[in-house]
Amino acid sequence: MRIIDRDELRRLVDEGAQLVEVLPQEEYDEEHLPGAIAIPLRRIDAEAGEKLDPSRPVIVYCWDPP
Amino acid sequence: MSPRAAWRLESLGFREVYDYAAGKQDWITAGLPTEGELAEVPRAGDVADPDTPTCRLDERLADARERARAAGWDSCVVVTETRVVLGLLRSRDLEKEGDLSVEEAMRPGPSTFRPNVPVATLADLMREHGLPNVPVTTPDGALVGLLRREDAERAIAELHAHHEEGDHEHEG
């Protein structure tokens, strides 16, 4: 796992990376990054396999740094 | 939360996982576009005027005044070479008499607002404090532009009109 900044995020997304917001669904519904999908942290085990392609990079984000 | 998600994905077999640690807050405060229910709410960064006149500390006040007025403004923002906001010249400051420098005439350290703040919030604040405009800056302090009160109020009126049109369409 590697931490990236905004510029790297845009480059990776342009190259086909999958963007995942891991906040609760209501926060995603209110506002999310363009093209992001919602997989709240507690649903990752159940949904990652079905919603994400393991052959492509994945970028996760929440609200702010821990 | 996102580091835990990233580590979990790796443990589930995802080989290339990144964590945008600065998160949604960083993206939104940079004034970048978003999607979702709040995405259409006009924000300060969308409505602030990027052609706001600026000046440097060591300029003559008379030169800054002339430039601001020629551009149709009664305010001028004092910035560094990298557009970091140092001060503000409002109408009353621009009118000061004598051979003053910008630094001598300006209001230092003005309150600034991030591009993601809803325009309605700033319109209320400007009305409450009788301000004609407020500076909008990036998280690094660089000027995006001045947000005029009338531009903020127009953006809110346009959003309401748009919603009313939508309501009529639904009714029809």
pLDDT digits (tens, 9 = 90+) for B65-87: 999 999 999 999 999 999 999 99
Contact B23, A65 (CB under 8 A): yes
Backbone angles phi and psi of B165, in degrees to 5: -60, -45
Backbone phi, then psi, for B4, in 5-degree steps? Answer: -65, -40
Whether B168 has a pLDDT exceeding 70, the answer reads no
Is pLDDT larger for residue B164 or for residue B152?
B152
φ/ψ region of B84 (left if φ > 0, alpha if ψ in -120 to 50, else beta) reads beta
Which chain A residues have a beta carbon less than 8 Å from that of B118?
A: none
Distance (Å) from the C-alpha of residue A7 to the closest C-alpha of chain B?
A: 10
Residues 26-65 of A with CB under 8 A from B: 28-36, 39, 41, 44-45, 48-49, 52, 54, 56-65
Q: Tell me: domain B44-156, CATH 3.10.580.10, correct?
A: yes
In this prediction, residues A26-37 reach a mean pLDDT of 96
Cα A33 to Cα A59: distance, rounded to the nearest angstrom: 12
Residue extents of the structural domains in chain B: 1-33, 44-156
CB contact under 8 Å between A62 and B18, yes or no, is no
Q: What is chain B's mean pLDDT, rounded?
A: 92
Number of helices (H) and strands (E), helices first, in chain B? 8, 7
Q: What pLDDT, in 10s, does the model give residues B11-60?
A: 999 999 999 999 998 898 887 889 998 888 889 998 999 999 999 999 99
Report yes or no: B140 at the A interface, CB cutoff 8 Å.
no
| Interface predicted TM-score (ipTM) of this complex, two decimals | 0.97
Q: CA of B82 to nearest chain A CA: how many angstroms apart?
A: 19
Question: What single letter denotes the amino acid at residue B128?
Answer: E
Which residue type sits at B1? M
pLDDT for B171 beyond 60 = no
Residue of chain A whose alpha carbon sits nearest to that of B34: A33
Contacts of B24 in chain A (CB under 8 A): 21, 23, 31-33, 61-64
Q: Which residues of chain B does A13 touch, with a Cβ-Cβ cutoff of 8 Å?
A: none
User: Distance from B104 to chain A by nearest Cα, in Å?
Assistant: 39
For residue B5, the chain A residues in CB contact (below 8 A) are 20, 22, 39, 41, 44, 60, 62
Nearest to A33 by CA among A59, A57, A51, A55: A59
Of B4, B13, B24, the CB nearest to A54: B13
Alpha-carbon Rg for chain A in angstroms: 12
Give phi and psi for A52, each to the nearest 5: -120, 145
Burial class (CB in 10 A: 0-12, 13-18, 19+), B130: exposed
